[in-house]
């Protein structure tokens, strides 16, 4: 992957080595059961964090402070730090923070109650691949890989939707994009069999739902109907599930929030995570109903946004070669996307590489011609990119 190994190093203006050191010292003391000394380090870290106005380490400082107080039976103090932790998690909507370990996750698991579960759940899903019930029971997540294909994964067992028919795929996919991953039977029938009478559509649904459930149970067992594909009171739902496309949407929102707050290091990490998830278009290779096509278009726009933001961050850190690779990758999918063209030209201008910039403009012009843009439209678009400062090849005779 492009530039991942250097993702954090150059953000020195956001790096606080003393605070990080105090957090690590506190964590080490907890491991050694030196709880009073751990409190000293963690309190110093929180004081420095608040004075510096940084939040990069503060979640971890509060989390370990809560665990340390809990170990000393100082329940009220532990709950205070836990409230701070939950507050920051709600604000940042992140599945990671500095200082997060398996031991800390086990402690947080014991603190699940009421609304806490919904706030802490993403931590368990992202780091342990489990769903956590109110009673503290863990259920392995059914993973859906919908970017670049359509496969399910549950504890190393795999299922590919290319093995089943069109209607079965559409039922599962429509549930994936529905609010709360839940739909009543009637809307499903109207989308999949719009021209059929109600009774015939219901028979079609029942038959296809039964085939879908049996196909999944052959691979994953009877737990499918209990924990994952659940039909209750006319509502069909997906439960205890992780979907790469849904995670991608969440990550781009988190990255935007981080950029707005000037947390470039955090934004870059989130954008690289999208890069890891992206294996291709949503449900690539399958025929889709209109709602699913709309979802594909929306995710493609997210992909372009991710490439642009990440390239901009890399270029700002003088990793221009890696930025260029990302921009060219985006333009290979949509050669007329002007925001990618503009950023690529900016990089070549900074490097005083007018010849490379001219080639970019020529490729852009040819793409516009293929899109049947008029000569006037093409001239305006090229001019808006500052073509006069680059070596643009003469326009070919038509």
List the chain domain ranges.
4-138, 142-243, 335-398
Strand order in the sheet with 157-160: 157-160, 151-154, 142-145, 241-243
Residue 4, pLDDT score: 46
Residue of 247, 246, 242 whose CA lies nearest to 143: 242
Alpha helices in 72-114 (DSSP H): 75-92, 102-109
Residue 135, pLDDT score: 63
Return the SS3 of 378: helix
CB 183 within 8 A of CB 175: yes
396, pLDDT greater than 80: no
Q: Give the mean model confidence (pLDDT) for residues 345-358.
A: 92
Q: How many angstroms separate the CA atoms of 314 and 206, rounded?
A: 52
Q: How many angstroms separate the CA atoms of 274 and 200, rounded?
A: 42
394, pLDDT greater than 70: no
- Any idea what DSSP says for residue 147? B
| Residue 233: C-alpha distances to residues 2, 182, 183, 184, 236 (Å) | 49, 12, 11, 9, 8
Residue 80, pLDDT score: 95
Q: How many angstroms separate the CA atoms of 38 and 53, rounded?
A: 22
296, pLDDT greater than 60: yes
Retrieve residue 155's tokens.
């504890």
Q: Give the mean model confidence (pLDDT) for residues 187-198.
A: 92
Residue 112, pLDDT score: 67
Residue 285 dihedral angles phi and psi, to the nearest 5°: 90, 0
What is the share, in percent, of the chain residues with pLDDT greater than 90? 75
Residue 397, pLDDT score: 42
28 strand-pairing partners = none
Q: Give the mean model confidence (pLDDT) for residues 304-326.
A: 96
Q: Give the mean model confidence (pLDDT) for residues 24-35.
A: 95
236 strand-pairing partners = 183, 231
Q: What is the CATH number of domain 142-243?
A: 1.10.10.10
| Residue 134: C-alpha distances to residues 113, 120, 261, 365, 385 (Å) | 6, 11, 33, 58, 56
Question: pTM of the predicted model, to two decimals?
Answer: 0.78
- Any idea what DSSP says for residue 395? P
Residue 93, pLDDT score: 64
| Residue 308: C-alpha distances to residues 8, 65, 161, 313 (Å) | 18, 39, 32, 9
Cβ neighbourhood burial of 116 (10 Å; 0-12, 13-18, 19+): middle
Residue of 289, 278, 292 whose CA lies nearest to 244: 278
Retrieve residue 30's tokens.
């907890």
Q: Give the mean model confidence (pLDDT) for residues 88-98.
A: 77
Q: How many angstroms separate the CA atoms of 47 and 98, rounded?
A: 17
Q: Identify the H or E element spanning 229.
A: strand 229-232
CB 81 within 8 A of CB 46: no
Retrieve residue 45's tokens.
């870290």
How does residue 142 score in pLDDT terms, banded at 50, 70 and 90? Answer: very high
Q: Give the mean model confidence (pLDDT) for residues 6-32.
A: 76
Q: Quick one: the chain helix, strand, coil %, rounded to 5?
A: 65, 10, 25
Distance of CA 258 to the CA centre of its chain: 13
Residue 391, pLDDT score: 53
123, pLDDT greater than 50: yes
Token look-up 């290091």 returns: 265
Classify 251 in phi/psi space as left (phi over 0), alpha (psi -120 to 50) or beta: alpha
């Amino acid at each position: 992957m492009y530039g991942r190994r250097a993702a954090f190093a150059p953000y020195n203006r956001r790096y606080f080595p003393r605070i990080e050191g105090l957090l690590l010292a506190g964590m080490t003391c907890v491991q050694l059961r030196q709880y009073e000394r751990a409190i000293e380090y963690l309190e110093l870290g929180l004081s420095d964090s608040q004075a510096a106005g940084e939040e990069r380490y503060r979640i971890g400082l509060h989390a370990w402070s809560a665990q340390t107080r809990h170990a000393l039976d100082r329940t009220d103090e532990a709950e205070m730090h836990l409230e701070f932790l939950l507050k920051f998690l709600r604000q940042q909507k992140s599945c990671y923070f500095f200082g997060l370990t398996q031991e800390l996750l086990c402690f947080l698991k014991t603190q699940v109650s009421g609304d806490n579960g919904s706030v802490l759940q993403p931590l368990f899903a992202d780091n342990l691949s489990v769903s956590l019930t109110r009673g503290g029971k863990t259920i392995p997540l059914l993973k859906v890989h919908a970017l670049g294909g359509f496969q399910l994964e549950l504890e190393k067992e795999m299922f590919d939707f290319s093995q089943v028919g069109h209607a079965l795929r559409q039922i599962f996919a429509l549930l994936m994009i529905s609010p709360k991953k839940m739909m009543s039977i009637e809307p499903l029938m109207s989308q999949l069999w719009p021209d059929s009478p109600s009774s015939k559509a219901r028979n079609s649904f029942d038959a296809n739902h039964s085939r879908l459930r049996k196909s999944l149970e052959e691979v994953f067992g009877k737990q499918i109907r209990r924990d994952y594909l659940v039909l209750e009171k006319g509502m069909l739902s997906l439960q205890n599930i992780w979907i790469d496309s849904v995670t991608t949407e969440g990550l781009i929102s988190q990255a935007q929030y981080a950029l707005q707050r000037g947390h470039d290091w955090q934004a870059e990490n989130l954008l690289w995570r999208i890069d890891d998830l992206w294996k291709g278009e949503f449900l690539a290779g399958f025929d889709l109903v209109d709602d699913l096509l709309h979802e594909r278009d929306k995710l493609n726009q997210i992909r372009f946004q991710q490439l642009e933001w990440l390239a901009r961050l890399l270029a700002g850190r003088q990793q221009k070669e890696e930025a260029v690779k990302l921009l060219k990758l985006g333009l290979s999918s949509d050669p007329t996307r002007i925001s990618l063209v503009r950023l690529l030209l900016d990089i070549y201008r900074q490097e005083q590489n007018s010849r490379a910039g001219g080639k970019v403009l020529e490729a852009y012009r040819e793409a516009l011609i293929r899109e049947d843009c008029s000569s006037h439209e093409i001239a305006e678009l090229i001019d808006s990119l500052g073509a006069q400062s680059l070596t643009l090849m003469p326009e070919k005779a038509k």
